[in-house]
């Protein structure tokens, strides 16, 4: 890298059921989110965002492709997550487009971007199923996993 140049990064964090009142950067006085607040202070904060599908897998497919659900074809999620139909081969993700430009990409945590393995990442460390919250159908201190043991 040329001297004096600051590397540019895209850090995309997705979460399920993330409300605006759960982040300090958006003015929450109750929720504490110092790490996300710092990231926001050093980067770009989007004040308006729209979800293309209320279900996480189709919504993530829209984020990855920049297309509506009826265009990319991932319109729903199966009860057994891993049987959800994935992106057709014709669809290209922005991660694949970054790779084509020689930019390194990585994914960590829960992706739920099908087909498996997700396309467009140089490095991946993914959790299976739904992560720790879903290890047991019941008995978790976080509450029951609503879809049962096949979801673990």
Q: Tell me the catalytic residues.
A: 56, 112
- Residue 108's DSSP bridge partners are 125
- Residue 123's DSSP bridge partners are 106
In the block, residue with structure tokens 């729209």: 50
State how beta strands 123-126 and 106-109 pair.
parallel
| CA–CA dist 74, 76 (Å, integer) | 6
Q: What tokens were used for 152? A: 């673990």
| CA–CA dist 144, 134 (Å, integer) | 8
């Amino acid at each position: 890298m040329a001297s004096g140049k600051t590397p540019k990064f895209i850090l995309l964090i997705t979460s399920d059921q993330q409300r605006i009142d759960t982040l300090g950067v958006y003015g929450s006085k109750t929720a504490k989110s110092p790490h996300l607040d710092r990231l926001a202070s050093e980067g770009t904060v989007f004040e308006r965002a729209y979800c293309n599908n209320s279900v996480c897998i189709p919504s993530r497919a829209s984020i990855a492709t920049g297309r509506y659900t009826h265009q990319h074809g991932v319109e729903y999620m199966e009860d057994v997550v891993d049987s959800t139909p994935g992106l057709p081969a014709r669809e290209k993700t922005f991660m694949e487009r970054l790779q084509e430009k020689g930019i390194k990409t990585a994914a960590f945590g829960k992706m739920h971007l099908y087909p498996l393995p997700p396309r467009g990442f140089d490095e991946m460390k993914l959790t299976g199923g739904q992560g720790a919250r879903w290890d047991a159908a019941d008995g978790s201190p976080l509450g029951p996993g609503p879809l049962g043991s096949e979801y673990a």
